[in-house]
């Protein structure tokens, strides 16, 4: 028999065998050996009974039984009364030899992670999330299992509109909310829309994520930098930024410097948008986490028709949920929905329904309050340790968020980052976030600044003390 195959059942899983050659028994034995040799059948895997496999292959049961018996004698399989036929434990697959081409370069192991941009993942509220997921799944309407509205589930859009109005001062109604799979996805969609609107440039803060600038550049947009100082982005210079039809800002807590945008500069940004028809893209990435007073409200409340508000569950819960949202000016909703596509392919409907239930039940508020207290304690421990062991090192941006900036002596940033690497400590230098056109001698002159961006919210509780100790060891005593 030539080129014959079947799918047998192994505890409900498919077993694909391809029989080649003129003899049925020899072909079956070769197919089973090859499946074990390549690792498709792993040691301990239970094979179908001879009756079941014979029926799937359309051959005699005795042929299968004889093939099994011979492979048992060869050591490929084992057979025990009551346990059936299994792949032998010693029948390990052969691995290809490594070559210089496939060998990865050796890198130092990271023992402690103080990179910014994510929360303590160990504190994800698993039990509460599971409870919300069970209830959401039980109550989900049948249409939740279809392709869905490209704006996202109405249940989530409704609860988001209520929460954002209450907690962040956002003017929202469900029809203006579009669910996406995170900030990057939202920015990608907005880049397409802005390009289609003939926008040539999106101004960005002189310090920020290069990944965000790259997304806009890939959309065909220039990203001229706005200078920064102790009051945030100098939005008064938007009028002198050629071709800018939009601006990307982090007004509640500038990333990474940590300053809040001054009220006068908030007003200047809105005035520019109204006068020019421009748009403000507001990244409210960690707006809930302010420690010394009430959180700074969203800029969107000043003019909902000129500001696109973007938020996510990445900092409050976990980035792995891939859930974010945009609150759009009414005239922009249809264009963003068209850019997203005809169905909601980006975010799982069940995850959306679970988050909606988690927020509706009060679980989200309780988790945020608990996390805020926990991160504030981390921040206080962080500041106290530096004051004791590294006096004179200035700490900036600690009023909010999950990260802070440490000012270093001029010319020392690279050496400190390298020393941290040797200690197994992952940290980021401040210069990583500086716009290529900003800095001494650049188009946007700014003083050189050496520093570290420290994500004190990243380590688990068990790793926090060790990470803090490793950081203090690599820092200079003073600046």
pLDDT for 429-439, tens place per residue? 999 999 999 87
pLDDT in tens, 244-269: 999 999 999 999 999 999 999 999 99
DSSP for 344-404 reads: --SS-HHHHHHHHHHHHTTHHHHHHHHHHHHHHHHHHHHHHHHHHHSTT--EE--SBSS-E
Residue 286 CA to residue 302 CA, distance in Å, equals 19
- What's the pLDDT at 92? 52
Q: What is the mean pLDDT of the chain?
A: 89
- What's the pLDDT at 329? 98
Task: Work out the percent of the chain whose per-residue pLDDT is above 70.
Answer: 90
Task: Work out the percent of the chain whose per-residue pLDDT is above 90.
Answer: 67
- What's the pLDDT at 99? 41
Any bridge partners for residue 407, and if so which?
451
Place 39 in a pLDDT band, splitting at 50, 70 and 90. confident
Question: Taking the domain 4-87, which CATH number applies?
Answer: 1.10.10.10
* Range scoring the smallest mean pLDDT among 90-99, 125-134, 255-264: 90-99
Q: Which CATH number fits domain 125-361: 3.40.640.10, 1.10.10.60, 3.40.50.300, 3.40.190.10?
A: 3.40.640.10
Q: Which fold has domain 366-474?
A: 3.90.1150
Assign 39 to helix, strand or coil: coil
- What's the pLDDT at 108? 63
* Range scoring the smallest mean pLDDT among 66-70, 126-130, 307-311, 371-375: 66-70
Mean pLDDT of 331-345: 88
- What's the pLDDT at 25? 86
* Range scoring the smallest mean pLDDT among 15-19, 77-81, 235-239: 15-19
Q: Are 385 and 71 in contact (CB under 8 A)?
A: no
- What's the pLDDT at 346? 75
| Domain limits, the chain | 4-87, 125-361, 366-474
> Any idea what the Cα angle at residue 359 is, between residues 356 and 364, rounded to 5°?
135
pTM (predicted TM-score): 0.82
């Amino acid at each position: 028999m030539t080129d014959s195959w079947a799918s047998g059942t192994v505890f409900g899983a498919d077993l694909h065998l391809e029989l080649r050659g003129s003899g049925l028994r020899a072909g079956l034995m070769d197919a089973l050996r090859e499946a074990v040799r390549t690792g498709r059948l792993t040691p301990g895997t239970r094979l179908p009974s001879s009756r079941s496999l014979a029926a799937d292959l359309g051959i005699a049961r005795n042929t299968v039984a004889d093939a099994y018996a011979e492979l048992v004698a060869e050591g490929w399989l084992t057979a025990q009364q009551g346990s059936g036929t299994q792949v032998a434990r010693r029948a390990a697959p052969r691995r290809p030899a490594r070559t210089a081409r496939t060998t990865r370069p050796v890198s130092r192991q990271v023992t402690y992670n103080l990179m910014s941009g994510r929360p303590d993942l160990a504190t994800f509220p698993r039990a509460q999330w599971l409870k919300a997921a069970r209830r959401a799944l039980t109550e989900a309407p049948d249409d939740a299992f279809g392709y869905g509205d490209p704006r996202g589930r109405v249940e989530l859009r409704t609860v988001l509109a209520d929460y954002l109005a209450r907690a962040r001062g956002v003017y929202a109604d469900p029809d203006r909310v579009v669910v996406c799979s995170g900030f990057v996805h939202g920015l990608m969609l907005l880049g397409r829309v802005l390009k289609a609107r003939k926008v040539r440039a999106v101004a960005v803060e002189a310090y920020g994520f290069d990944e965000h600038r790259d997304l806009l550049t890939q959309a065909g947009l220039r990203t001229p930098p706005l200078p920064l100082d102790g009051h945030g982005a100098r939005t008064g210079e938007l009028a002198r930024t050629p071709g800018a039809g939009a601006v990307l800002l982090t007004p509640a807590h500038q990333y990474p410097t940590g300053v809040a945008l001054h009220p006068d500069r908030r007003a200047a940004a809105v005035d520019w948008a109204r006068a020019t028809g421009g748009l403000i893209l507001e990244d409210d990435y960690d707006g809930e986490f302010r420690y010394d007073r009430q959180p700074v409200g969203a800029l969107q409340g000043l003019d909902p028709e000129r500001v696109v508000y973007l938020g996510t569950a990445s900092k409050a819960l976990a980035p792995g949920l891939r859930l974010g949202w945009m609150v759009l000016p009414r005239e922009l909703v249809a264009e963003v929905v068209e850019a997203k596509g005809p169905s909601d392919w980006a975010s799982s409907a069940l995850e959306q329904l679970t988050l909606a239930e988690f927020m509706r039940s009060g679980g989200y508020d309780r988790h945020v309050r608990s996390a805020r207290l926990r991160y504030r304690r981390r921040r206080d421990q962080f500041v106290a340790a530096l004051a004791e062991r590294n006096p004179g090192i200035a700490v900036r941006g600690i009023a909010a968020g999950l990260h802070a900036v440490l000012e270093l002596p001029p010319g020392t940033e690279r050496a400190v980052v390298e020393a941290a690497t040797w200690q197994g400590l992952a940290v980021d230098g401040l210069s990583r976030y500086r716009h290529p056109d900003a800095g001494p001698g650049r188009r946007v002159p700014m003083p050189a600044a050496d520093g570290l961006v420290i994500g004190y919210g990243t380590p688990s509780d068990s790793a926090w003390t060790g990470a803090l100790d490793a950081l203090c060891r690599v820092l200079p005593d003073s600046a």
